[in-house]
Amino acid sequence: MMAERTSHEAWHELAERELKASPDDLVWRTPEGIDVKPLYTEADLEGIRHLGTLPGMEPFLRGPRATMYAGRPWTIRQYAGFSTAKESNLFYRKALAAGQKGLSVAFDLATHRGYDSDHPRVEGDVGKAGVAIDSVEDMKILFDGIPLEEMSVSMTMNGAVIPILANFIVAGEEQGVAREKLSGTIQNDILKEFMVRNTYIYPPEPSMRIVADIIDYTAREMPKFNSISISGYHMQEAGATLVQELAFTLADGREYVRAALAKGLDVDAFAGRLSFFFAIGMNFFMEAAKLRAARLLWSRIMAEFQPKKPSSLMLRTHCQTSGVSLQEQDPYNNIVRTAYEALAAALGGTQSLHTNSFDEAIALPTEFSARIARNTQLILQHETGVTNVVDPLAGSYYVESLTNELAEKAWALIEEVEAMGGMTKAVASGLPKRMIEEAATRRQAAVDKGEEVIVGVNCYRLESEDRIDSRDIDNKAVRLAQVRRLEQIRRSRDDARVDATLAALEAVAAGGPGNILEAAVEAARARATVGEISDAMRRAFGDHTAKPEVVSRIYGKAYEGEPEFQTLAARLDAFAAVIGHRPRIMVAKLGQDGHDRGAKMIASAFGDIGFDVLAGPLFQTPAEAAEMALDAKVRVLGVSSLAAGHKTLLPQLIGELKARGGHEVIVVCGGVVPRQDYEFLFEQGVAAVFGPGTNVLEAGRAVLDLMEGKLRNVA
C-alpha cells in the first residue's frame, strides 16, 4: 500500500503540472451526490465486499445466469402500439420477421385509465400514444397470427391491469393456448403510478389488493408468466436521480413481496416471477453500475423473507433507453444517444431491452426509425463482441467503486423509506414524488444554464432544422372504428350474462370471497368491455384524485445572482406594478395524459420567476380547464401535451374559452409537438408553441412578451 500511495502522489504532482491547477478540480459532483474522481486505483476497492463473486451465484451482482450473453443474448423486446389493434398487429409481424424476439405492448391512454373508446373524456386520446383495446375482440386481433404459446408478451399496464390481463388470458384461450402456457410480463406496478406516471384509477389500498390478487392468480394458474414488472423507468423519466430510481424501485418491490405474503403465498411460489424495469440514461458507467447494484441490493432484500430457492434472490430486469434524453433539436443525434445507452444496458447485464426511436421526442416512431432502433440492438449483439464475455466491466476500479457507492447510497434511502413504514406510507406522504420533482427541477436549471451540455440543444445548435417525417394518427377515424366495434359487441353479447359477471366482480372487489382477476376473466369471456370491468371496480373502490402540488425555490435558487434571471424577474415585477397584481398563469394537462414532468417543471420555475401559477389537476376536459381558467382570472393558459392529443384538445379548449367569453386569455402549448403541427395550432388560436429542449427562461420571456403585447393592444 505504501507503493500505491507513493505512486498516487507522483501522479498527483504530474497531473498538477499538466493542469497548472489541482486535479481535485476535475472531480465531478453528480446529481446523485457522488464525487466522481478523475482517477481510480486499486485503493478504491478497499473494503468492497462484493469483489470475487461470480455470475449465476448469490448475490447475483454479476448476472442472474452463469453464462449470461455468452449462452444467450438479451431479448430484443421493442415497445410498440398505436392506432387500432389491426394496425399494431401488422407492425408486430413485420418487427418479428426483422429479428425482434419478444413483444411489448403500448396501450393508449384511454385504455390505461379504464375507459372505453366511446367515453366522452377520452375523445383526444383514442389510439394516439398506444393501441386502443376495448374488449377481447380487440385483443384477439392484436395477436392474430402470433402464436402466444411461443411468444413472450410484455404489457405495460397498471391502472386497468385487471381487464387487460383478463382479456389477454381469454384471447389466449380462444387462440387455443391455455393460460398455463402463456409467457410474458404484466407491469402491475401501481406504487410507481402514484409517484410519477399517474395512470392510476383507484386509491392506493385497493390498488395494492389488485397487485396481490394478480400475483396470487398467476402463481397458481400461469407459472410461465411474470406477475409484476417493478418499474424505475418512469421515475428516471420524471427526473429521479439514479440513486432515487434504484432505491424507490427496490423499496416498491419489497412492498409487493409483503403484499403477496399477506395473501398467504409462499415466497418461493412467486419470487421467480417478479421482474424489474429500469431506464438507461446517458451517464454511461453509472447506468451499468446501477444494474449491478440493483442485483446486489435485491438479493439482500429477498434474503429477509428466507426463501429456500436461490433463484428467489435473483433480480431479473428489462431495460429501456431514455426517452427524456431524446431531443427535438438535431434529432439524428438521438440515434447515437440510444446506441450508447443500449451498450450501457448490455454491459450492466439486462435480460431484455427496448431501444427508443430517434423521432420519439417529436411524434410516434415511423417504421424507418423503429428499424434503426431495432438494428441498434442487432448490431450490438452480432458485430461488437460484447456478448462473448460475462460481465466484462467486472474488476474495473471505477465501475466496482461506483457499484458499491450507488448501492450504499440507495440502501440508505431504502432504509429511510422503511423507517416511514414502507413504500405505501412513503408514497402517501408525498416524499418520493417531492424528491423526484426537486431533482428534475435542479437538472432543468443546469441544462438551461449550460452547466449540463446537451449537444444540439444548448450547445452546437444548428442554425436551421430539417423537417423529418413523422407518424400521424387520425384520431377521429380510429375512435369511430373503435366505437363501431363496441356497438357490434354490445349488440351480439348476452347482456344478462355480462351483468351477472360484472355483479360478481363488484362483489369480490367490495370484500367478498374470491380473486379479482379470476372474476374479471369470467366477465371478459362474457364480452364485458374494459370500461365496464373498470367501472365495476370503481363502484367498489372509488376513484383516486391527486391534489397537484408544485415544488418551489429550486429553479430560482440555481439562478441566484445570475443577471439573466434577475432581468426577467425585474421585467415581470414592472408588469405586475402596471396591472396591480402578479400575472396569473394556469398550467393545464388535458385528456388522460398523466406524464406531468414538463407541466410541474414549468409551474415550479415560473413560480420562482415571479408568476402567480395555478397548477391544474390531471385529466381535465377542455371544458373543465376553460372554466377553471376563467374562474381564476388567468391571463395565460399553458397546456402541456406529451401524448399527441394536441390537434384535438387545443382547438376544443379555445372553443370552450370563446364560448364562455374568454377571448382575452392567451393560450400557449408545450411538450412533444411536431413542428409541422405548429401552423395548425397557430391557425386555431394558439399564441406560442414550446417544443422539447426549450429553455425555461426563454419561455418565460416569450410569455411575458405576449402579455405585454396584449396589454398594449387593449390600451
Active site positions, annotated: 79, 233-234, 589, 593, 595
Q: Are strands 35-36 and 28-29 parallel, antiparallel or unpaired?
A: antiparallel
C-alpha cell at 107: 396501450
* Helix (H/G/I), strand (E/B), else coil: 36: strand
Which has the closest alpha carbon to 131: 96, 168, 98? Answer: 168
CB 486 within 8 A of CB 117: yes
Which residue is listed with cell 431491452? 353
Beta strands in 26-140 (DSSP E): 28-29, 35-36, 75-80, 102-105
What span, in angstroms and rounded, lies between the C-alpha atoms of 313 and 368?
40
Please say whether the beta carbons of 317 and 350 come within 8 A: yes
Residue that is written with C-alpha cell 362483489 in the block: 507
- Tell me how far CA of residue 521 lies from CA of 45, 131, 179, 501, 504, in angstroms: 53, 21, 11, 9, 11
Give the Cβ contact number of residue 160 at 10 Å.
25
Give the rounded distance of the alpha carbon of 653 from its chain centre.
27
* Max Cα-Cα span within the chain: 86
| Amino acid letter, 156 | T
Minimal CA–CA distance to 329: which of 457, 448, 205, 212?
Answer: 457
Q: 636-657 as b/e, with b when 16 or more CB fall inside 10 Å?
A: bbbbbbbbbbbbbbbbbbbebb
Rg, C-alpha atoms of the chain:
26
Closest CA to 278 of 261, 260, 297, 259: 297
Question: What single-letter amino acid sits at 255?
Answer: E
Amino acid at 329: Q
Sign of CA dihedral 296, 298, 303, 309: negative
Cis previous bond, 651, omega within 30: no
> Distance between CA 442 and CA 581 in Å, rounded?
28
Report d(CA 528, CA 501) in Å as an integer.
8
Helix axes 495-509, 530-541, angle to 10 degrees: 40
Query: CB-hemisphere CA count at 13 Å for 675?
Result: 13
